Amino acid sequence: MNLISKRIKGMQDLLPPLSGIWNAVEDVLKSEASNYGFSLIRTPVLESTELFQRSAGGESDVVQKEMYTFDDKGGRRVSLRPEGTAGVVRAVLENGLHNGALPLKLMYVSSCYRYEKPQSGRLREFFQFGAEVFGTESALADAELIMLGNSIFNRLNVQDISLEINSIGCFECRKRYIDSIKIYFEKHQNDLCETCKERLYRNPMRIFDCKNSRCSEICKNAPVILDYICDKCSNHFSDLQKYLSDAKIVFSINPSIVRGLDYYSRTVFEFVYSGAEAPITVCGGGRYDGLAEDLSGVCLPALGFGMGIERLLMVMENQKLNPVKKSVPVVFVACADDTARSFSLDLTQKLRQNSINALVDISEKRVKHQMKYADKIGARYVLVIGSDEFKSHKARIHDMQSGVNKEISLGKNFVSDFIDIVLQNY
């Protein structure tokens, strides 16, 4: 088959049965966040480029290399969102949500776009589940947000996930720290990879994210940011550790965590999967207390996390975890002749109205072909209705798994009789 166009590199088609697993995972994510008081928000996929330049940082890799940016027909510079937080902050400020009850908790599932080399668990189009909290500086909020992430992994039964935390301090803390690591990395400049040589003068903290073995080795002896944070930031980090310990949340301190976007401050954290050949960060987040002020002048402390759904599903597949709940077995109503078709449509609708997965022949195939189709789609029961069944108001329901046939009345008690048959097998 010669298609005039094929899927663009780095994009994806989400097909059954994987789409059912995605849906089940998203239901768990939203349900668990709802238990913590989060409400759903949806923001546009297209935003002003300036929003991401101001939030992510004009010198960040995301802005410099990875954004899908273009001029629209009105001559405006716009970009597909590379992450979810900036759009949510913009929506909160623009719609005055920060003037209501605080703290404000919002969650979302969003598609994001970054032009980078497609890799396992991260395509150019990828999906994030995000949770954002606005209006509190307390380390209690940091602890509760991390608890939400931990609860999600527990509810999905995901194993081998470890929590790593760090503090990158406030702007003044980082300023002193960046001066220090610039001096350190300049001494090793010749040994850095080409990308990190660029980062040294644009965004030196990003060198800690480099996967190059030489750069990683150099980073081991670099100054530690926790030695440079002020007393206020240090106390905040100590409070967070106490709250997590009180909540029986196991964590380790990783001074190398800096996160990839410039808006982070104080707390940063990652949930890392260790069951693969190389560690995989499935969820990451932290505080961004100055972002709202930078975008609008409004002081609005905030924090949040993003969880990569592709990466989460990759980990779950590796652990053979399937969150799809066992549904009521499908019944397929096969029609033997024209007389039965209208009657079968009504019968099938009654099953659906009682939350039973029911299908009916809509192709006018022969019964033999209908049975084959029912088998292919995994129907548990098949009910064949023809002229005789229509007249007698009785039929036989065939259990495709056991091969057993049972007579069932097609009268007013049909639905309850069918449910009784199902319950006998479950």
| CATH match for 18-170+229-318 among 3.90.226.10, 2.60.40.10, 3.30.930.10, 3.50.50.60 | 3.30.930.10
Rounded CA gap, 70 and 87, in Å?
18
Contacts of 1 (CB under 8 A, 6+ apart): none
Residues spanned by CATH 3.40.50.800 within the chain? 331-424
Indicate the pairing of strand 77-80 with strand 69-71.
Answer: antiparallel
Burial label, 2 (beta-carbon count in 10 A; 0-12, 13-18, 19+): exposed
CATH architecture for segment(s) 331-424: 3-Layer(aba) Sandwich (3.40)
Q: Does residue 124 contact residue 114 with C-beta atoms inside 8 Å?
A: yes
- Both tokens assigned to 81: 């969102």
pTM value is: 0.87
Per-residue pLDDT, 216:
87
Per-residue pLDDT, 327:
64
Rounded CA gap, 418 and 426, in Å?
13
Per-residue pLDDT, 108:
98
Residues spanned by CATH 3.30.930.10 within the chain? 18-170+229-318
Per-residue pLDDT, 355:
84
Per-residue pLDDT, 212:
86
Name residues of the chain where pLDDT drops below 50.
none
